[in-house]
Amino acid sequence: MSRGAANTAWAACFVDELARAGVREVALAPGSRSTPLVLAFARDGRFRMRVHLDERSAAFFALGVGKASGVPAAVVTTSGTAAANLLPAVVESAQSEVPLLVLTADRPPRLRGADANQAIDQVHLFGGYPKRFHEVGAPTLAGPELRHLRALACRAVADAAGAPAGPVHLNFPFDKPLEPTEVAAHLEGVDPVAVVGRPDGAPFVEVHRARAVPDESALGVLLRVLETDSGVVVAGPSAEPLRDGPAARALAGATGFPLLADALSGARFGPADGAQVVAGYDLFLRDPVVAERLTPSVVLRVGASPTSAAVLDWLALHAGIPQIVVDGGSRWKDHGVTAHTYSGADVAATLEALASATSRRVSDDWTALWRTAEGAALAALRASAGEPHEGDVWPAVLASVSSDGALFVSNSMPVRDLDAFGHPADAAIHALGNRGASGIDGIVSTAFGIASQREGPVVCVLGDLALFHDQNGLLWAREEDAPVVFVLVDNDGGGIFHMLPVADHEPHFTPLVATPHGLDFRHAAELHGIDFTDTSVDALGDALPRALAAGHTAVLRVRTERAANRRRREDVVEAVKRSVREALG
């Protein structure tokens, strides 16, 4: 058997099945050992191939594709540390339940553990993070093996996309020669279905993954618990915000439960449908008197852990009251150990069923209490308007995001500021973030991946350290169908650390924790031919729509000062807490 022919046919069959299963996006980093896969994708013609020089950036781009579309993209690398550089994106994919196909080329088994160049142990390279790992067999020109390979491709796509979604890793050992070879003569007599696949472009195996739907008895238990005068729905970040968000609003509207909707839940932005979507809760629940005053009789929680530390503290404060978690994923989502009931069922299906079946609404006094708190918080924010702080970028950003575009927000302070100062709105804003592992790596690349799947413009709000960590991601600006306008909040270092007690420990805090870098990111933008504009919090409302209308990637920098930002935030938060405490008596 010709090794070259086996490599060529093997890769072509696998790639053909990925296309039949619906995969269309491929992010790859150049290398030699992956040649059979890369050229199979290129020769197939059904894929949009995107090349990046940095494996980590390629993986986060693919992650963004899966996050925006729900369909896994494939990231392809050569062997060795090239494959190891995919780990951060694999971790985020697993933790945030985003589909991702990881295809790593490898040396043949005879070269492993034998001091062969660029050979590392790639078996289970990413530990327990992938939903599935497959060590793909050595390329073989035989019917049973090719049939197995096609079925494996179908399983991989289904596993990556199936709820809960996540990463699937396939490791391909290829021996030389790696370049494409004519294969027709070597396939005579081989099962034709194995060679060319099912007729009419059908996948070799059509895989259906069922969602976990609660049975009638489980729904009955939940309905009885929800029959109360003072319940609350807490919606955390969702892997499927377009499904779970409207369902959370529907339940809140049917029961009258106030809805504490994380900005990444899918429930904060969009038509309220009769739900009381509370604004400013992250600010006023920081006050212990207010948190005690707003004591519920039951909490129903969906999604991942809320961004708001105040909500987490509020849940812990009321750990003695019934708290229900509904989640159909495989990860336990109750690190605060406050759950009394944990329902392992599909979130949207469960909430919609509960909304249809419930007949009991909370008391008017309970909803009025939350409306009073919200009104006092918003009044305090209006009254405290003055010197801007970093949270003040959000009104301009939210006003500029279109329904056919998306908002992608970085971790660290931007997502916390969005949660605190990005108030509910009827506008359908698709807000996304990498809250699985909450890292600041790969933010730029993920934003470009999201943009490649949206018809409208994408806005990405990030800090200077996040941009620094993924400067290589700016190379994605060459993708003409994926423009992103970056709102760069530049405070020259780790501004989030000024919110922690360690900020009072100078002289060590500034050089060792806040770590000012003194870099001017204008030069990074110019390196990639990206428009770069300095603006201010006050001028952002005019600058951002202009940048979006231009239709190409740009950076708008808003400079802030860390210590002043901290003082201004503290004043605003204290004003809100005082106002709400007084309003609630």
pLDDT tens column, 200-255: 999 999 999 888 888 888 899 999 999 999 999 999 999 999 999 999 999 999 99
Report the pLDDT value the prediction gives residue 500, as an integer from 0 to 100.
61
Confidence grade of residue 282 (pLDDT, cut at 50, 70, 90): very high
Structure tokens at 289: 């008197």
Integer Cα distance of 325 and 351 in angstroms:
11
Whether 442 contacts 56, CB under 8 Å: yes
CA gap 307, 415 in Å, rounded: 8
Average pLDDT over residues 253-282: 97
pLDDT at 515: 78
Tokens describing residue 383: 């009254």
Whether 98 shows a pLDDT value over 70: the answer reads: yes
Query: Is residue 512 predicted with pLDDT exceeding 70?
Result: no
State mean pLDDT over 484-508: 78
- Among 276-280, 399-403, 503-507, the range scoring the smallest mean pLDDT is 503-507
Distance CA 512, CA 94 (A): 31
Q: 387-403 as b/e, with b when 16 or more CB fall inside 10 Å?
A: ebbbbbbbebbbebbbe
pLDDT tens by residue, 421-467: 999 999 999 999 999 999 999 999 999 999 999 999 999 999 999 99
Q: Which residue has the tokens 């060679």?
A: 195
- 3-state SS, residue 51: strand
More confident residue, 235 or 515: 235
Please state the pTM of the whole predicted model: 0.96
User: Given the structure tokens 């529907």, which residue do they identify?
Assistant: 250
* Span 328-379, pLDDT tens digits: 988 899 999 999 999 999 999 999 999 999 988 999 999 999 999 999 999 9
Please name each of the domains of the chain with its CATH number: 3-173 (3.40.50.970), 216-366 (3.40.50.1220), 390-559 (3.40.50.970)
Q: Are 59 and 73 in contact (CB under 8 A)?
A: no
Pairing state between β 458-463 and 484-490: parallel
Q: What is the mean pLDDT of residues 63-79?
A: 98
Over residues 26-63, the pLDDT tens digits come to 999 999 999 999 999 999 999 999 999 999 999 999 99
Burial letters for 45-63: b for 16+ Cβ neighbours within 10 Å, e otherwise?
eebeebebebbbbbbbbbb
> Mean per-residue pLDDT for 298-323?
97
| Contact partners, residue 243, CB within 8 Å, separation at least 6 | 266, 347, 348
Q: Mean per-residue pLDDT for 382-408?
A: 93
pLDDT for the residue 94: 98
**499 confidence band (pLDDT: 50, 70, 90):** low
| Whether the predicted pLDDT of 156 surpasses 70 | yes
Mean pLDDT computed over 19-29: 98
- pLDDT above 70 covers a percentage of the chain that reads 97
State the pLDDT at residue 565. 87
- Give the residue-averaged pLDDT of 550-567: 93
What phi and psi values does residue 515 have, to the nearest 5 degrees?
45, 65
DSSP 235-298: E---SSHHHHHHHHHHHHHHH---EEE-TTSSSSBS--TT--B-SSHHHHTTSHHHHHHT--SE
Model confidence over 178-188: pLDDT tens digits? Answer: 998 888 778 88
- Compute the distance between CA of residue 300 and CA of residue 485 in angstroms, rounded to an integer: 36
- What pLDDT does 577 receive? 97
In sequence order, the β-bridge partners of residue 105 are 172
Burial 313-344 (b: 16+ CB within 10 A, else e): ebbebbeebbbbbbbbbeeebeeeebbeeebe
Q: What is the reported pLDDT for 517?
A: 83
| Contacts of 191 by beta carbon, 8 Å cutoff, 6+ apart | 143, 144, 146, 147
- State both tokens at 62: 């693919």
The pLDDT assigned to 229 comes to 94
pLDDT at 1: 61
Output the DSSP codes for 363-427: -HHHHHHHHHHHHHHHHHHHHT-SS--GGGGHHHHHHH--TTSEEEE-TTHHHHHHHHH---BSS
Q: How far is CA 361 from the centre of its chain?
A: 34
